[in-house]
Amino acid sequence: MATESSSPAGSTGAADRRTWRRPTAFRNRYTKWAVYGAVLALIAWSVASLRITPSRFLSGIGYGYELIDSMLPPETGSEYTLRLFDRMIETIAMAMVATVAGIAISLPVAFGAAENISPKPTYYLSRGIISATRAIDGLIVAIIAVIALGFGPLAGIVAISFKTIGFFSKLFAEDLEDIDMGGVEAVRATGASRFQSLVYGVVPQVVPRFAGLAVYRWDINIRSSTIVGIVGAGGIGVLLQRAYQRYEYDYVAAILIAIIAVVLVAEFVSAVVRRRVQ
């Protein structure tokens, strides 16, 4: 009897081992190798189209060495340092204003883009706004803002705020869609209005994530504000572009060191705040 009862179990286990297949995105191995071959062919074609020759690569290394040699030691004169300090303060101020403005605009878009708490027309409209703001690169927006508003930090604030909307709205909307709807239904059962349900049922669940995302986006905007100035949108990027144009590579080195220092400090502050709120 023991032999009869153990035999079906053993055969079932063997059948399970025979029928299990590793999950895969391909129908069969021929399709898999065909896709791999197509990807490798695309990579080979991309490399060949760039026309990178060994002589060109070696000459580039030589030019790079000359550039680095001309950047050392960095310029530390008082006049240059004061100008650098002023532009860096402007850069940080741009990032702060753009972060606040971008998040303020992002909040209604994010709530509208959460499928579980917004009607379909609002959902599709908000998702369209998110897609549009994510589709255009920040430098392109900065160029358009400079043409429309002129040179200066205002154009940079507009460009960085525009990119903040796409980033913050998308991630915050996904967090809203992951909330526990049981708490929202409990608030509604007390007779609360739709707005009260959002305030007391939804907001308490996403406040830590909101704070973390806000600090993280501020960290990104610090870095972005150093770039948009290259097209004239204010900040230290303007100073960097002028130094390159005048071949003041030692001053370029000082600017790059200042940018790296500010970004590292912003990264440290961002990590500490996100760790505390989450």
The rounded distance, in Å, linking the Cα atoms of 233 and 242 is: 13
Q: What is the mean pLDDT of the chain?
A: 84
Q: Tell me: the pLDDT tens digits for 1-41?
A: 445 455 555 555 555 556 666 667 777 778 888 888 999 99
Q: What is the pLDDT of residue 38?
A: 92
Q: What is the pLDDT of residue 105?
A: 93
Residue 278: pLDDT band (50, 70, 90) is low
CA dist 217 to 149, 159, 179, 263, Å?
A: 24, 14, 21, 13
Q: What is the pLDDT of residue 247?
A: 86
CA dist 215 to 8, 194, 272, Å?
A: 60, 29, 10
Q: What is the pLDDT of residue 209?
A: 84
Q: What is the pLDDT of residue 178?
A: 86
Q: Tell me: the pLDDT tens digits for 227-271?
A: 888 888 888 888 888 888 888 888 889 988 988 888 888 888 877
Residue 101: pLDDT band (50, 70, 90) is very high
- Bin 22: left if φ > 0, else alpha if -120 < ψ < 50, else beta: beta
CB atoms closer than 10 angstroms to residue 176: 24
Find the range with the poorest average confidence among 19-23, 42-46, 156-160: 19-23
pTM greater than the 0.85 cutoff: no
Percent of the chain exceeding pLDDT 90 equals 20
Average pLDDT, integer, range 82-108? 91
Q: Please name the residue that has the structure tokens 């460009």.
A: 159
Q: What is the pLDDT of residue 204?
A: 83
Find the range with the poorest average confidence among 22-31, 175-184, 185-194, 249-258: 22-31
First to last CA, the chain: 59
Collect all residues with Cβ–Cβ distance below 8 Å to 197 and sequence separation of at least 6: 184, 187, 188
Residue 103: pLDDT band (50, 70, 90) is very high
